[in-house]
With several copies, the nearest count.
Chain A
Amino acid sequence: MPAIDVLYFAWIKEKIGVGQEQVSPPGTVKTVSDLLDWLADRSAGHRSALSDRARIRAALDQTHVPLDSPIEGAGEIAFFPPVTGGAS
């Protein structure tokens, strides 16, 4: 699989310690969820940040996707908590 840019935001970024990294997961990583499993093994910070799936949202090439989406062909994958913009 070609290299993928992975982006992290908010407390996920803080726990992992970086906002962006380039990764080349093996071919067995087929979905967003697979990628989360694979990324969690990279460090204690990754594991802590990515373990609670109910609190994680994903975007593939800047479009919201469910965690069971295939990642084939994606150039950029972002992980973040549920959004909290706007106002009251």
Chain B
Amino acid sequence: MIRVRQKPFDPGDEINAFCTHNANSGAIATFIGQVRDYVSSESGTGSVSELILEHYPGMTEKELARIADEAASRWSLDDTLVIHRFGPLTPSEAIVLVCTASAHRGDAFSACEFIMDWLKTSAPFWKKEVSPDGSEWVEARESDDHRAAEWNAK
């Protein structure tokens, strides 16, 4: 299931519901991305007071569903959940949650990491960090492109 939402969510509650819904899957892997309180640019030194996540409504959901489908075609999965927030976020809030359920832990782990890697380079979200120095759009990292591309070599 794909959910793109502005309101905060409770990772523990979502994970418990996912586990209950997949009670016969022996292996559940999850990833939680949290807002950090320091700016991502190497030249910056300030602390982040707010993170603003812009997205492309409609395309976001399509891309996340495409990524989840791709994961399901590569590994044996019982279920997948992706929750991603947009709008203003504050440090320590959860930005993203990915859960995968499988009979095998290797499949659950690989699919969860794959979804995060592809999400980073193809889901249409853009981050703007607000700090005492002002606000700045976060630059994409080449290392993320490499991570996403490596899955095609596996």
Q: Is B10 an interface residue (CB 8 A)?
A: no
Chain B residue at smallest Cβ distance from A62 = B59
Residue pair A84, B27 in contact (C-beta under 8 Å) = no
Q: Which residues of chain B are within 8 angstroms of A86 by Cβ–Cβ distance?
A: 33, 84, 95-96, 105, 116, 119-120, 123, 125
> Given the complex of chains A and B, what is the CA–CA distance between A10 and B140 in angstroms?
12
> Given the complex of chains A and B, what is the CA–CA distance between A64 and B27 in angstroms?
27
Q: Which residues of chain B are within 8 angstroms of A87 by Cβ–Cβ distance?
A: 26-27, 31-34, 95-96, 105, 116
A10/B137 contact (C-beta < 8 A), A59-B124, A85-B123, A87-B105 known:
yes
CB distance from A57 to the nearest CB of B (A): 9
Q: For chain A residues 7-66, which have a beta carbon within 8 Å of chain B?
A: 7, 9-11, 59, 62-64
A62/B126 contact (C-beta < 8 A), A86-B119, A87-B33 known:
no
Q: Is B138 an interface residue (CB 8 A)?
A: yes
CB distance from A41 to the nearest CB of B (A): 25
A62/B96 contact (C-beta < 8 A), A86-B116, A87-B27, A88-B36 known:
no
Q: For chain B residues 18-69, which have a beta carbon within 8 Å of chain A?
A: 26-27, 31-34, 36, 53-56, 58-59, 62-63
Chain B residue at smallest Cβ distance from A82 = B140
B-side residues, CB < 8 A to A, are 26-27, 31-34, 36, 53-56, 58-59, 62-63, 84, 95-96, 102-105, 116, 119-128, 137-140
Further contacts, 7 of them, CB under 8 A, given A9-B124, A78-B56: A62-B62, A81-B140, A82-B121, A83-B122, A84-B137, A86-B105, A87-B33
Query: Could you write out 27 A-B pairs with CB less than 8 Å apart?
Result: A10-B137, A11-B137, A62-B58, A62-B62, A64-B122, A78-B56, A80-B124, A81-B137, A81-B140, A82-B121, A82-B139, A83-B126, A84-B137, A84-B140, A85-B95, A85-B123, A86-B95, A86-B105, A86-B116, A86-B119, A86-B120, A87-B33, A87-B95, A87-B96, A88-B33, A88-B36, A88-B103
